[in-house]
């Protein structure tokens, strides 16, 4: 008689909190959770990252905001959100009441370091969530040329260090893929006080209508996401894992459990599902079950025994600090 394989344990303790499974919804794809409450079972997820919060309300960019781009999607939403004041008065109380069973990160975006810090201060005064994800792909208006913070390690350090002084909550830093080597940027974020890294944000792109000779998106250029971004994201996680010891969250092109597993093998402890949610709001829900089936098939008892077990030809083990106890990338206690 063949022995029945036990289901792989999906829960992890990271950032001092328990994640029941490694699948989260990505920023900008689930609002503040309320928007999807009737479409999927939110408590079945590991958590969510909210829509990015800015200091003032933003109506967003002109339509169309989303277009297909082959095996990808191009979007230019423009960080549409109700602004800090309404988030504090309306969204955070709703999340505290309805999402207490999962972990919530609030995404923060700004045009200059002071805006990030003011938003963190405002959110801290209300609470009701686990931590922050700093969206550092926003242009830095305080420097000539407006290079995004994520592409300028010195500017990135300033934002993260300032936010670190304002909160003891976990700080995730979301990095951009369009850098020659994401390793030094990941190191800069960790040194500045980041507790984790989200890899990666969308890739800049442009689609031109050849009849009108104008952009197909109302805002012109946009951010590329979807399956075409997956290999870029997996590589970024793999590279960051070799340079940093803090937990990584993989995002980009995850449409099925196998895609999420690639990120886990590359070194991500958690994954975020974005574009797939637009096509199927329950996609993330199924991925958690698919990851568990994979572990059962492969005889893996604990998800931490899966994280970071991919090996390239030049790889070296890196210890990962997982919250309450340090964990090596092979999953064994260090």
The domain locations on the chain are: 12-328
What average pLDDT does the structure give for the chain? 91
Cis preceding linkage at 200, omega within 30: yes
What's the pTM?
A: 0.91
253 pLDDT more than 90: yes
176 pLDDT more than 60: yes
End-to-end CA distance of the chain: 37
255 pLDDT more than 60: yes
In CATH, which of 3.10.310.10, 3.30.590.20, 3.20.20.70, 3.40.640.10 is domain 12-328?
3.20.20.70
C-alpha angle 291/293/294, rounded to 5°? 65
CA–CA separation, 167 and 158 (whole Å): 15
3-state secondary structure of 122: helix
Catalytic residue among 30, 88, 138, 243: 138
**Residue partners of 8: CB distance under 8 A and separation at least 6:** 291, 292, 294, 295, 296, 300, 301, 302, 303, 306
Q: For the chain, how big is the Rg over CA atoms in Å?
A: 19
**Helix, strand, coil percentages, rounded to 5, for the chain:** 35, 20, 45
Q: What is the pLDDT of residues 298-328, one digit of tens each?
A: 999 999 999 999 987 655 545 566 654 343 3
pLDDT band with cut points at 50, 70 and 90 for residue 147? confident
Q: Is 138 assigned a catalytic role?
A: yes
pLDDT band with cut points at 50, 70 and 90 for residue 6? low
Higher pLDDT, residue 165 or 313: 165
* CA–CA distances in Å: residue 153 to residues 141, 162, 194, 236, 258: 15, 14, 13, 16, 33
CA–CA separation, 70 and 174 (whole Å): 25
120 pLDDT more than 90: yes
């Amino acid at each position: 008689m063949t022995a029945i394989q036990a289901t792989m344990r999906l829960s992890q303790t990271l950032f001092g909190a328990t994640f029941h499974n490694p699948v989260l919804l990505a920023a900008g794809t689930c609002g503040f959770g309320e928007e999807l409450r009737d479409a999927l079972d939110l408590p079945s997820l590991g958590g969510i990252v909210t829509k990015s919060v800015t200091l003032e309300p933003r109506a967003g960019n002109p339509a169309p905001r989303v277009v297909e781009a082959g095996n990808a999607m191009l979007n230019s939403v423009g960080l549409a959100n109700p602004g800090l004041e309404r988030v504090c008065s309306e969204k955070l109380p709703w999340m505290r009441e309805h999402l207490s069973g999962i972990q919530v990160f609030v995404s923060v975006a700004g045009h200059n370091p002071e805006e990030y810090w003011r938003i963190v201060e405002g959110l801290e005064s209300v609470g009701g969530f686990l931590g922050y994800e700093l969206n550092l792909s926003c242009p830095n208006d305080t420097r000539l040329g407006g290079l995004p913070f994520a592409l300028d390690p010195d500017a990135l350090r300033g934002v993260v260090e300032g936010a670190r002084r304002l909160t003891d909550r976990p700080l995730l830093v979301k990095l951009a893929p369009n850098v020659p080597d994401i390793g030094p940027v990941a190191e800069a974020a960790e040194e500045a006080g980041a507790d984790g890294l989200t890899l990666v944000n969308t890739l800049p792109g442009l689609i031109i209508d050849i009849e009108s000779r104008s952009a197909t998106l109302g805002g012109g250029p946009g951010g590329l996401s979807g399956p075409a971004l997956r290999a870029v994201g997996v590589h970024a996680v793999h590279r960051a894992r070799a340079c940093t010891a803090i937990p990584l969250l993989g995002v980009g092109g995850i449409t099925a459990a196998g895609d999420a597993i690639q990120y886990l093998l590359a070194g991500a402890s958690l994954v975020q599902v974005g574009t797939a949610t637009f096509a199927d709001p329950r996609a993330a829900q199924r991925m958690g079950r698919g990851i568990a089936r994979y572990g059962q098939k492969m005889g893996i008892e604990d998800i931490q025994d899966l994280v970071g077990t991919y090996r390239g030809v030049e790889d070296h083990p890196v210890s990962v600090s997982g919250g309450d106890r340090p964990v090596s990338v092979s999953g064994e206690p260090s």
